Chain A
Amino acid sequence: MSAPDVASALRAILPPGAVLASAEQRRPYECDALTAFRSLPAVVVLPRTEDELRAVLLTCSRLKVPVVARGSGTGLSGGATPHPQGVLLSCARMSRILKIDPENRIARLEPGVPNLQVSQAAAQYGLYYAPDPSSQVACSIGGNVAENSGGVHCLKYGLTIHNVMGIAGYTMDGERIELGGGMAPDGPGLDLLSLVIGSEGLLMIVTEVTVKLIPRPPVAQLVVASFASVHTAADAVAAIIAAGIIPAALEMMDRKATVAVEPFVHAGYDLEAAAILLVESDGTTEEVRDQVADIERVLRECGASALRVSASEAERQRLWSGRKNAFPAAGRLSPDYYCMDGTIPRKHVGRVLDEIARMEERYALACLNVFHAGDGNLHPVIMFDSNEPGAWERADRFGAEILELCIEVGGTITGEHGVGIEKINSMCVQFSSAERAAFFAVKEAFDPNALLNPGKLIPTLARCAEYGKMHVRGGALPHAHLPRF
Chain B
Amino acid sequence: MRTPDEALLDDWRARIAQASAQRPLRLRGAGTKDFYGESLAGEVLDLSAWRGIVDYEPSELVITARCGTPLSEVESALAQHGQFLAFEPPAFGGDPTLGGVIATGLSGPRRPFAGAARDFVLGTRMLGADGELLRFGGRVMKNVAGFDLSRALCGSLGILGVITEVSLKVLPRPRLEQTLRLELTAADAVRSFNRWAGQPLPLSGAAWDQGSLWVRLSGASPAVRAARERIGGEIIEEQEAQLWWNNLRHGRLPLLKSERLWRISVPSAASPLPLPGLPLIDWGGALRWYAHLPPDARVRELAAASGGTALCWRGAAPEGRFHRLSPAVAQLHQRLKARFDPRGIFNPGRLIAGL
Contact = CB atoms under 8 A, between A and B. Distances in A.
Interface of A: 101-106, 125-127, 147-148, 150, 154-155, 158-159, 161-162, 171, 175-179, 181-192, 194-195, 197-199, 202-203, 215-218, 238-239, 241-242, 244-246, 283-284, 286-287, 289-291, 343-347, 372, 374-377, 410-419, 423, 427, 430-432, 434-436, 438-439, 441-446, 448, 457-458
Most buried by A among B82, B221, B222, B323: B222
Given A191-B155, A434-B134, A284 B226 contact: yes
Contact of A191 (B62, B151, B340): B151
A178 B226 CA distance: 41
Interface in B163-212: 171-173, 175, 194, 197-202
A191 B351 CA distance: 12
Nearest to B197: A105
A430 B142 contact: no
Contacts of A346: 59-60
Contact of B140 (A159, A216, A344, A439): A344
Nearest to B283: A185
Contact of A434 (B57, B105, B132, B138): B132
A215 B198 contact: yes
A125 B223 contact: no
Contacts of A185: 111-112, 116, 265, 268, 283, 286-287
Nearest to B146: A439
A377 B144 CA distance: 11
22 contacts: A102-B198, A104-B194, A104-B268, A104-B269, A161-B119, A178-B329, A181-B309, A184-B286, A185-B287, A186-B116, A188-B322, A189-B330, A190-B159, A192-B329, A195-B148, A215-B198, A246-B171, A372-B142, A376-B140, A412-B145, A413-B145, A442-B149
Contacts of A198: 144, 147-148
A410 B266 CA distance: 39
Contacts of A345: 57, 60, 62, 139-140
B72 interface: no
B145 A187 contact: no
Most buried by A among B111, B146, B155, B171: B146
Nearest to A409: B140
B23 interface: no
Interface residues of B, number: 86
Nearest to A443: B147
B307 interface: yes
Interface in B245-297: 265-269, 283, 286-287
B325 interface: yes
Contacts of A239: 59
A241 B61 contact: yes
Contacts of B199: 126, 215
Given A184-B309, A413-B145, A457-B146, 20 more contacts: A154-B141, A154-B142, A158-B115, A159-B142, A175-B328, A185-B286, A188-B324, A189-B329, A190-B351, A192-B329, A215-B198, A217-B200, A241-B61, A244-B82, A284-B226, A290-B222, A343-B141, A431-B145, A441-B339, A442-B149
A431 B126 CA distance: 13
Contacts of A287: 202, 219-220, 222-223
Contact of B141 (A181, A242, A375, A436): A375
A443 B322 CA distance: 26
Nearest to A411: B140
A189 B172 contact: no
Contacts of A125: 198
Contact of A195 (B58, B61, B82, B149): B149
Contacts of B149: 195, 438-439, 442
Most buried by A among B62, B143, B173, B197: B143
Given A215-B199, A419-B145, A244 B175 contact: yes
Nearest to B123: A412
B284 to A, nearest CB: 10
A438 B351 CA distance: 20
Contacts of A413: 145
Given A178-B326, A446-B332, A189 B220 contact: no
A159 B118 CA distance: 13
Nearest to B325: A189
Contacts of A183: 267, 307-308
Contacts of B172: 241, 244-246
A283 B156 contact: no
Nearest to B81: A242
Given A188-B322, A191-B154, A199 B59 contact: no
B48 to A, nearest CB: 24
B59 to A, nearest CB: 4
A343 B123 CA distance: 14
A368 to B, nearest CB: 20
A286 B171 CA distance: 21
Contacts of B119: 158, 161-162
B79 interface: no
A410 B339 contact: no
